[in-house]
Chain A
């Protein structure tokens, strides 16, 4: 079985059933089931998410911010130990180690700007070896996971229903 194609299919549409996946990949459904279980066990598949346009939903109840974090790496441990201290906060949605001016880039979600600001100053800035933080609030989201966020509802498709 081509695991990469299986992963790609699920990444694009996690709602495909195991039977759909079996049809697409020309495999036995039972084999697909066991492959997915294995991928979940190995933490290659880490979850199934829905892409939500927060410009439209919960727009008064949710703010997002990118937090740039500078830290001092530790001997033998590098960045990983500090990173885990930060990543374990449930407020942190996504986190990367970067090259360039800052070390970590974290995406944080909160209910209000005040809540996010307090989380950064009270929690992240106080983590051992963190030297500085910079908070960048998201004003509007244009694209997420390859999907362009549209303000207006889908207008009736302009494609003809039947063509030669």
Chain B
């Protein structure tokens, strides 16, 4: 009696665990594989693509970094992404503060126009953007790419920050006004500090998305020494074509910063990535 009652349950649990195990292998397996290959030489990989990495060839990371232009790509990405994120946070924060705090005419319409660009397919901007950047003299320039990055992430940044700013109690602002704070000081000394959780969410979200951005970079950047990391990785693959071990190392260099951010800020990152999905 007892046995017959437990076994369907046990069976169901086993099926569930099997499903989970298979999915986990599918989700994480590719990373484990590329991490192992990044520490093995191509000759070792050719002999057996799935063997454990032993001995560990950490020197491959050094040669990937120094022998190609990898350090330039990496620091280009760091510089462009960080600059864009700082500008985004300030400009987006200011606009979000304005939408959340003040009443003015056509507020809803302006907000809708900015927000609706989230669903625009990028094709509709990319060709015109290419021509305009050539006209402005910003084509093939890192500053140009920064400005484009600011513009593509602006709507989602305003959206996330606005919903947070709107929840700050208005009394706080009235008190600040009575204390003689200017509107500008209220923004810097009250809105921004109070909204720090939401701001860190947008900072992490924008950092990851822009770190991975490819389409605008490939259209707007042509010089090798201005390339960002995704373009660099692709270029690296073109150069090393058959050198699978070396490409795997190159991939790991692009993956590691993202994984580090993820390890330290996983909750906030998940929050940021999913902020647009839950309404």
* A and B interact: no
